[in-house]
Chain A
Amino acid sequence: MSELILRLYIAGRTPAAERAIRNLERIVAESYGEDAPACAIEVIDILERPQLAEDERILATPVVIKKLPPPVRRVVGDLSEREKVLIGLDLKEY
């Protein structure tokens, strides 16, 4: 099974950022259950590393970028809307 890499960019540990982290972890776990692919969720705080936000040209936060598998997809928000996260990250195929 192919590798799944999700990068979650947050601007400080705000309540929205905490929610986004929890929501993303839950969505990935619930979607795959036992069949979860080798999954990595990287949380990046751009207040500490603004250059990474520059590289990805990020405006809105929180934002999750699916780096692998292709195609690259972005979803912004606290990821509270589960269906949209699944569609946005194109995760349903798994």
Chain B
Amino acid sequence: MSADRAAAAVSVPKLATGIAGFDSIAQGGVPQGRSTLIAGTPGSAKTVFAGQFLAAGITGPREPGVLVTCEESPDDLRRNFQAFGWDIARWEQEGYWTFVDASPAIELDAVEAGPYDLGGLIARVKGAVERTGAKRLAIDSLGAIFSRFPDVRQVRWDLFRIAAQMKRLRVTSVMTAERESEYGMVARHGVEEFVADNVVILRNILEAETRRRTVEILKFRGAGHQKGEYPFTILPEGGVVVIPLSAMELTQRSSQVRITSGNEKLDAMCGGGIYRDSIVLVSGATGTGKTLMATEFTSGGLVAGERCLLLAFEESRDQLIRNARGWDVEYEPAEQRGDLLIRCEYPEAAGLEDHLVRIKQAIDTFRPHRVVLDSLTALERVATARGFREFVIGLTSFIKERETAGLFTASTPSLMGGASVTEAHISTLTDSIILLRYVEMGGEVQRGLTVLKMRGAAHEKSIRQFTIDQKGMHIGEPFRGVEGILEGHPNRVIGHVG
């Protein structure tokens, strides 16, 4: 952090955009007093980004802004932006928001009779900025201007003049531009030639039948930024929300405080409980006891006087309460006390980015000590491999940052052993992994449990059998003289006596 700040001090100063998460990957914001190109394919949320750049300037530092709209009419934008809670009409009255309307209209059609330039637009932009004392300018979009005037070279020169003028006026601007493909040249019409210094790319990628939005800072001349693509989502109440993955990972602390898993025997297997800011993955086939383990983890927290957030994506609230009651755990009194919050959602109800943002909001509002998610596998169904991994990274780092304990469950597809897809994707992201397995021995099916991994601590390596009854999970003795349990092919080892 301090190294970053030192580096930022010698480079171009930044202007915090106020767009959630963006300033984090932009290491402070966009270069101040410069123009930044926001390039993207149709539908990549360029207009929202441009509008939000101004809106966040108004709601945050109360900086007036000017929006040059070249495509949509101010009326359309006022209406569209209303959906994000931005009261454009009021801001216009207060002098914080000004439109320069450059949208096309039939009555403005003109015959061309000789050479001309965009002197009118330049004068209007300058006039609006000077009249209102604007600190921020957005132009949406450059492509719309190019498509109306055939002399590309002249338009390019005029836009360069606008960019240069804004620089003189110390106005920070964003200009949107169209791209034809997600991974190709930066923008059409060669616009990067005049706003080449700073380029941000918005993408809306179709991947395995799922839409994924990402933002990438391609370059900030003379200033640092995070590299690579970061997922973002668009929320009705706030607009663009960027999910800064690696930026968060850097700030994680590590706690040495241990808490109970809700099961004494399991605590013992883990060497005295799990770390307070650690993420436990419980993996097993259907019916092995994952939800029970999640319930005991919740109950253990409630008994210790901790607040728990239960995120359920497979079962309804009633079902969860009934399940818990079957194991002698009562959720409703804890809910009434305000110690427990149960959120049940259909995985399909939203994109993974949206789920993540909602979960984060729930965590920040409820401030739980423990977060239980049952199950990750249900969420994996509605996402791409990469989107899912980003979700898990985003969630784990967010939880750990708040020194909260997390327990996630994941289902394995086969009844006997075998690794799940989920495990393969996220095992490196969680601190501890507990495997629950069916074990077929002597003609009957038993249950086995082992602590596969526990970051930063010694733990028991044996596989113990366990049973489930109305009181919950009972962990028994280790299986002895048997191998191949985890693979689902237990064999009695000759010569070993148990």
Contacts and interface: CB of A to CB of B under 8 A. Distances in A.
A31 interface: no
A28 interface: no
B108 A57 contact: yes
B126 to A, nearest CB: 7
A59 B109 contact: no
B100 A54 contact: yes
Contacts of A50: 123-124, 126-128, 131
Contacts of B112: 75-77, 81, 84
Nearest to A20: B114
Nearest to A51: B127
Interface residues of A, number: 37
Contact of A85 (B109, B113, B128): B113
B109 A74 contact: yes
B120 A75 contact: no
B123 A46 contact: yes
B110 A88 contact: yes
Given A9-B120, A60-B118, A75 B127 contact: no
Contacts of B107: 72
B117 A61 contact: yes
A61 B115 CA distance: 9
Contact of A57 (B101, B115, B118, B126): B101
A75 B124 contact: no
B85 interface: no
Contacts of A59: 102, 118, 120-121, 145, 148
Contacts of B114: 16, 19-20, 23, 77-81, 84
A74 B108 contact: yes
A53 B111 contact: no
B171 to A, nearest CB: 16
Interface residues of B, number: 29
Interface string A48-88: 00110110011111110000000011111111111011011
A42 B192 CA distance: 39
A76 B126 contact: no
B190 interface: no
B45 to A, nearest CB: 26
A4 interface: no
Nearest to A61: B119
Nearest to A86: B113
A88 B107 CA distance: 13
A77 B108 contact: no
Interface in A29-59: 46-47, 50-51, 53-54, 57-59
Nearest to B122: A11
B153 to A, nearest CB: 15
A30 to B, nearest CB: 15
Contacts of B149: 60
Given A59-B102, A63-B110, A78 B123 contact: no
Nearest to A17: B119
A10 interface: yes
Given A50-B126, A57-B101, A11 B120 contact: yes
Contact of A76 (B102, B111, B122, B131): B111
B1 interface: no
Contact of B110 (A10, A19, A53, A75): A75
A38 B96 CA distance: 44
A76 B119 contact: no
Contacts of B148: 59
Interface of A: 9-12, 14, 16, 19-20, 23, 46-47, 50-51, 53-54, 57-63, 72-82, 84-85, 87-88
5 closest A-B pairs by CB: A50-B127, A11-B119, A88-B111, A77-B114, A58-B120
